[in-house]
Chains A and B, each alone.
Chain A
Amino acid sequence: MTDTTEKAAFRAAARDGAAVPQPPPAPRRARLWRGLTPWLFLIAPLALLIIFTYAPIANMVAYSFTDWDGVSPELHYTGTGNYTELFTREDLFQVFFVSGYYLVASAVQIAAALYFATILSFNVRFRNFFKGVLFFPYLINGVAIGFVFLYFFQDGGTLDTVLGLFGYHSDHAWLGTSTSANVSLAGVSVWRYMGLNFVLFLGAIQSIPGELYEASELDGANRWHQFRYIIAPGIKPVLSLTVILSISGSLSVFEIPYIMTGGATGTETFVIQTVKLAFQFNKTGLASAAAVVLLLIILAVTWLQRRLVPDDRVDLV
């Protein structure tokens, strides 16, 4: 029996004033299957999530209460000792100042990504080519980027050569001082991750219906007006998501400084410090505690941001 005939029968029964027949209940097995189906699809992702994310985190939390050195078969429960140590040693938190450089850089990064996404969402010559160019760095392996930029910043390396072409012969050791090294590294980070932000923004912008631009043009809006009153509010959710990711990302910068400087010359970030605690000084317990603290800090920052900028629905029309 098809859906329509069923409805027809139902109507007919109602017209006749007869008792409305209940649709026959599906057999128990079928109902069971219907209930199980979504879970069957979810088994694989859930299993991966639990095995590779939640179980390790649970383990890490457990290790943060021990003095394990990462390899010895013996470990002792030390209670909250690691956390006490963590919070009574101010040198462990000083490294967060380095995150400031990356915070500033992520502001630059978001602005640049937004700028390019807006421009390339309109009809521009070679538009797809530029999209590719901007997104490309994100596809390169982080380790490779680290090495490439080591050559880039070398004395007499790519950067110096390029500047030389413009007649500027710098005698600057780019990774030589703490400030200059952090700015350089943050610059590499911008280069690498801007493509991702760009693609997110581009996708959001393109989901805005085209008629809105047409209508606004008829009303005499210029490009800036279109950006200010159509694009910016239209991509607000993506924008706030990007800001959250950038801030939490800035707090947990790792691979670029780790590969390029190894944390030398004042470029050590909290994660590099944690890795060093775990793998150089074999304080896996303390490092786990540090990782837990970082996780909590990031969760807190994200929560705070969500409270400050609630995720309201966009309604342009």
Chain B
Amino acid sequence: MNSRRILAGSVVALAVMASGCTGTGGSTKGADAKAPADPAKVSGTITVLTQRTDLVQDGTMTKYAAAFNKTYPKVKVKFQALTNYEAEVKIRMNTENYGDVLLIPGVIKKSDYPKFFASLGTETERSKKYRFTDFTTVGGKVYGQSPIGVMPGFVYNKKVWQKAGASKWPTTPAEFLADLKAIKTKTDATPYYTNFSAGWPLTSWTFVNGSVHCDTGATSKIADGDPWAKGADLRVGDQLLYDTVHDGYIEKDPTTTNWEASKARLAKGEIATEWLGTWAIIQFQDAAKKAGIDPDDIGFMPFPAQVDGKFCATVGPDYNQAVNVHSQHKEAARAWIDWFTDKSGYDKDNLAISPLKDAPLPTVLKPYEDAGVKLIELDDSKGAKVKLVDTESEVGINTPDYRQKLVDLARGAGKGSLDDFYADLSKRWTEAQKNAGS
């Protein structure tokens, strides 16, 4: 139990990262990364930071770079894959050396974007062609662009759901629970898998926001209102998670869940459902192929809520790519972002939604088109405030803690009542709103 040394270690880590602070900002503030006029003339070596360790290891990224070099022969692209992306980049961003192209970490305050990143252009100009521009807009200028769009939803095993007699997507939380009950009684599968241990899959329940009431202004409502008021989007989602757990439709021991293993288990039909996002489909299909199962068994469905008889799903950006404001090769870096977004095919390779406004939906979302699911984009103008209130209140809608507590509460391992739990969240949230200003 000599963890004192570990403490000392973490203290050192804290302080070392702290000591590098205040090195950034200043003269380069507000710089632009302009698109190169002539692709043949851009030169330089750029370093691209990515969280996709898998794609760097299996050489996929190098293939992208090779294709990129056909248009931009003089630019050399190097990749750095970071296993724990958020934490590592955050520390590196205390220096000027954080790659030429990077993904904007969640921790950076939106108002600080101009201090860290070079602008890609104005919003009026970019929003004509691209989706999600307002997620990175500060003062009318756009600082990042996501190469793919993602949509939250349930990944499910079609065969298991059919076997349970649920051939149509549930349209209300009550119907969803009834279907899970049918799965539990009629099949051997675990109706819903929480991924409690990994934590972040629980966090993705926050993305329920917007699809319950089909409201593009849902984020602003969280920023200015109470997300746990009766009928509010987050509460509807949390309530569904609570009921699912409380009624015993989840795995026996959530505390030792295994995310990697869950992919194959869902493909094999041992697990029926998981709340994730479109980005997960390809991973589950790969797991199915490896297990010798037809990847078409993997289905995807929206949150069980309808407005005027239509489902609604929110399309949002994944990590946004940005140019380091201190980069020596801003044109080359910009060229990479443009090429990767428009021409790399990264979105198609991931069966994801294209960030280009005029691109068609991926084939995997054909059922969505057939069912007439309405796709909406949330207005993110109050996104920065939500982040601020979230950290100030320490509720953590973007961290796993509070939903882990919710799951514990639901399965009887935590103390207290659900009403008190919601009340506490509301109280902390609304109090933090007062401090966060407007």
Given contacts A153-B256, A252-B4, 16 further A-B contacts (CB under 8 A): A59-B18, A68-B18, A69-B109, A69-B391, A70-B90, A70-B107, A155-B256, A175-B256, A246-B2, A249-B1, A250-B1, A254-B3, A262-B404, A264-B197, A276-B401, A281-B396
Chain A interface residues toward B at CB < 8 A: 52-53, 55-60, 63, 68-75, 102, 105-106, 109, 142, 150, 153-155, 157, 173-178, 181, 189-190, 193, 196, 245-246, 248-250, 252-255, 261-266, 271, 275-284, 287-288, 291, 294-295, 298
- Partner of B4 from A59, A109, A281, A298 at Cβ < 8 Å: A298
Nearest B-chain residue to A267, judged by Cβ: B255
**Is residue B25 within 8 Å, beta carbon to beta carbon, of the partner chain?**
yes
Contacting residues, chain A, for B394 (C-beta < 8 A): 277, 281, 283
Q: Which chain B residues lie closer than 8 Å to A102 at the CB level? A: 1
Contact of A280 among B2, B109, B396, B414 (CB under 8 A): B396
Query: For residue B90, which residues in chain A have a CB less than 8 angstroms away from its CB?
Result: 70-71, 279
The one of A106, A150, A262 in contact with B400, judged by C-beta atoms closer than 8 angstroms, is A262
Q: Is B37 at the interface (CB under 8 A from chain A)?
A: no
Tell me if B93 counts as interface (CB < 8 A to partner A): yes
A60 touches B14 (CB 8 A): yes
Binding site for A on B (CB under 8 A): 1-4, 6-8, 10-12, 14-19, 21-25, 87, 90, 93-94, 107-109, 112, 115, 196-197, 199, 251-256, 258, 391, 394, 396, 399-401, 404-405, 408, 411, 413-414
User: What CA separation (Å) do A125 and B258 show in the bound complex?
Assistant: 42
A175 CA to B251 CA in the complex, in Å? 14
Closest to B13 in A: A56
Contact at A71–B108, with CB atoms within 8 Å? yes
Say yes or no: A105 contacts B18, CB within 8 Å.
Answer: no
* Distance, CA A201 to CA B23, complexed state (A): 49
Contacts of A264 in B (CB 8 A): 196-197, 199, 255, 400-401, 404-405, 408
Q: Which residues from A are CB-within-8-Å of B93? A: 71
Establish whether residues A154 and B256, one from each chain, have CB atoms under 8 Å apart when the complex forms: yes
A278 — which chain B residues lie within 8 A by C-beta? 14
Residue of B23, B90, B394 with most partner-chain A CB within 10 A: B394
- Given the known inter-chain contacts A56-B11, A56-B14, A254-B7, please indicate yes or no for A75 contacting B21, CB distance below 8 A: yes
Task: Determine whether the beta carbon of B256 is less than 8 Å from that of A294.
Answer: no
Nearest-Cβ distance from residue B80 to partner chain A, whole angstroms: 18
B19–A55 CB distance below 8 A: yes
Residues of B within 8 A of A279 (CB): 87, 90
Q: Which residues of B contact A154 (CB under 8 A)?
A: 253, 256, 258
Q: Is the CB of A176 within 8 A of B6?
A: no
Q: Which A residues are CB-close (under 8 A) to B411?
A: 176
Of A75, A263, A291, A298, the residue contacting B401 (CB under 8 A) is: A263
Complex contact B14–A281 (CB within 8 A): no
Bound form: Cα–Cα A174–B256 in Å: 9
Q: Can you list 25 A-B pairs, Cβ within 8 angstroms, ordered by A? A: A55-B15, A56-B15, A60-B15, A70-B18, A71-B108, A73-B21, A73-B25, A73-B115, A150-B256, A173-B255, A190-B1, A193-B1, A245-B4, A246-B1, A246-B2, A253-B1, A254-B6, A254-B7, A255-B6, A264-B404, A266-B414, A271-B7, A279-B87, A282-B107, A291-B7
Contact assessment for B11 and A60 in the assembled complex, using a CB-CB cutoff below 8 Å: yes
Q: Are A252 and B3 neighbours in the complex by a CB distance under 8 Å?
A: yes
Residue of B with least CB distance to A150: B256
A-B contact count (CB 8 A): 175
**Contacting pair B25 A249 (CB below 8 A):** no
Contact B255 A176 (CB under 8 A): yes
A229→B391 CA distance, assembly (Å)? 58
How far is the CB of A225 from the nearest CB of chain B, in Å?
Answer: 31
Q: What chain A residues lie within 8 Å of B12 (beta carbons)?
A: 52-53, 56
Residue of B at shortest CB range from A70? B90
Cβ contact within 8 Å between B8 and A254: no
* CA gap between A252 and B7 in the complex, in Å: 7
Please tell me if the beta carbons of A68 and B21 are within 8 angstroms of each other in the complex: yes
Which of B18, B108, B253, B400 contacts A60, CB < 8 Å? B18
Q: Which of B2, B25, B399 gathers the greatest number of chain A CB atoms within 10 Å? A: B2
Residues of B within 8 A of A276 (CB): 399, 401
Q: Flag if A73 contacts B3 (CB, 8 Å).
A: no
With A193-B1, A280-B399 as known contacts, state yes or no: A56 contacts B107, CB within 8 Å. Answer: no
Question: Which residue of chain B has its CB nearest to the CB of A153?
Answer: B256
Also in contact, A57 and B253, with CB within 8 A (given A150-B197, A176-B413): no
Report how far A189 CA is from B179 CA in the complex, Å: 42
Interface centre among A58, A59, A68, A264 (most CB of B within 10 A): A264
B15 engages A262 (CB within 8 Å): no
Q: Contact at A157–B256, with CB atoms within 8 Å?
A: yes
Q: Establish whether residues A63 and B18, one from each chain, have CB atoms under 8 Å apart when the complex forms.
A: yes
- Looking at A176, A177, A288, the one whose CB has the most chain B CB atoms below 10 A away is A176
Q: Is the CB of A261 within 8 A of B197?
A: yes
* Cβ contact within 8 Å between B14 and A189: no
Chain B residue with the shortest CB-CB distance to A245: B2
Contacts of B2 in A (CB 8 A): 193, 196, 245-246, 249
Chain B residues whose CB sits within 8 angstroms of the CB of A178 once the complex forms: 413-414
CA gap between A265 and B289 in the complex, in Å: 35
Interchain nearest-CB distance for B95 vs A (Å): 11
Contact yes or no, B413 A255, CB < 8 A: no
Say yes or no: A252-B6 contact (C-beta < 8 A), given A176-B253, A280-B399, A282-B391: yes
Residue of A nearest to B198 (CB): A262
Q: Which residues of A contact B196 (CB under 8 A)?
A: 264
Contact (Cβ within 8 A) B6 A173? no
A-B CB proximity, top 5 nearest: A56-B15, A175-B255, A173-B253, A249-B1, A73-B25
Write the nearest CB–CB distance from B26 to chain A, whole angstroms: 8
Residue among B4, B252, B404 having the largest count of chain A Cβ atoms under 10 Å: B4
| B414 CB contacts on chain A under 8 angstroms | 178, 265-266
Known: A70-B18, A73-B24, A291-B11. A155 touches B253 (CB 8 A): yes
B73 CB to nearest A CB, Å: 36
**Complex Cα spacing A109 to B90, Å:** 38
List A contacts of B10 (CB < 8 A): 254, 271, 275
A71 & B15 in contact (Cβ 8 Å cutoff): no
Contacts of B404 in A (CB 8 A): 262, 264-265
